[in-house]
Chains A and B, each alone.
Chain A
């Protein structure tokens, strides 16, 4: 037997294999799948994993919920890799801010446009399953998520009443008119994502890499996402930086911090 046969699966191999397993389950269980592509590092990894899971293809549409507020570099990236990866891209515009819940804090309202855009896309394309790249280590309410997470009629998340999920037996029950969120990256950490990007050489929007002492650690809309101080201009340096940092990943996202329950309110009403 060769050494490859003996070799242990490393941590990234295990994460990859588990995510592929989840994606293939989603494909079996759900008929009209869509993948939400934020153009950020996590959803790029997701697309990469899909192409492995489905042997080089991406057999369902990829939706970018466009607020019109992405950085120019992000739009450039989107258009280039839509072509190179052969994606079936949906890029509908999200409803304007005036249509969001006025009692939410301002930064949270910008994010809430995405929830509305999501609801519109669900209605228009009749998705019964949405694959997204959220991770448990990003945020304390995301840490409570299931891998297969059933949504209510209005896309809402019943955080206090989630079904059991064990031994890779995922919930397949959905009420009519509702959809399932599928979270293949839930078990990954930010560092795992970067190490995987490094290993697989997955392309990224250049804004993640430091320029003039600043870089984006989490990429969102202009005006509600802010760069952090950093000199990490390569993947190796970013990994090095993350191994030593104590700043949380989403520190540069205003909607996480405007009120104690702002993010939970966003999420229970359908946000990622």
Chain B
């Protein structure tokens, strides 16, 4: 029987990052991916007929230290503009956040806001840097107890790092985390348009509205992963990241097998010893990493029979509830939409109402949309399209998303409708079935306040361990995760190579 030093379940970007770190440390690594191609949500893939699309995540960046550590060759995405289409008018920021044109664009709405804007950008950059540091440190294992020898130093460094933000920003940072974006922006800005533009980034990808607590935090989180407001798009597609990771892995003698869904983690006496594939094949390894979401990993792959009752009860209650869908249009190229990121965010209240629909398991009929283009393709991020629908099911409702998206975009981009030649909708059900995301949750567990930091994925389990020895979480569902950054993949590998988990 085949045997490896390590198996990584899932070739999402985090799984690939973990595999690269392990392979570079001399481990024999095998990555198993259920889809026919690697990449997870960072994939650029063909929808057939020569139509290649960033099907899920528009753009992305790995943390610079990961790129360095792994010697990756990823061309840096060119800075792009972020355009918010609000009911007060169009606000355009970028390509650089504080360039003269951006400030002028804000000034058209409010002179006072234009004056405050550079300070806000500096504050957000500082918050993002702080989060970046927090996301590099697995949280203590048994809070409130901190193991001084193992966890004390990194935690002390984080405390010092926080202190170095300066007294004013430190308090502003801590206070902003649990705030609603509505309240946060009301304190900073008077322009309804600017508030709406920023709120759209705060809620992007999350099943939260601008009036939800904790959207102060999600704004910082997305700001960190985007490096500001606009999505960092790659000329060759988000898949550039995956390609670089795959090439580096193969060069380090790692292996990737696609079309290989893991059905079960093999467990002997509460220790993971390998995996069984859907085909029945069994592969052994000294350690098994999972880049799949924690609920799937724990309940389906490890199985509740191997878990303590309280633990599996908690695992069952990890909040997933995805509400994101994608609508891709293939056009004749004359869609008339400028490059960059376009947020269709009429107003903060408008977005909150769109979110309300998802609370009641309805599709938002006046949704928040984010539009980006790559050549002839127009990709629309659709929010909110809840995984669980009150009436109808996703087999039939997908078409409605496309209709709503087109109707919403028509007044803003008059040339779009006539340019459309084909389309492809990815509903939350597709996200689950095709991309392996439980309840269509793109973040492998909501980044809600009861699920962040030391509570991600579960309180006191945010150091990548699971109750099964030798089964280690490396995907977005752990502390540091959500978004494309590679942080959890990196942290998991370092925890293991440092002998702290596994």
Specify whether A and B are partners: no
Chain A residues in contact with chain B, CB under 8 A?
Answer: none
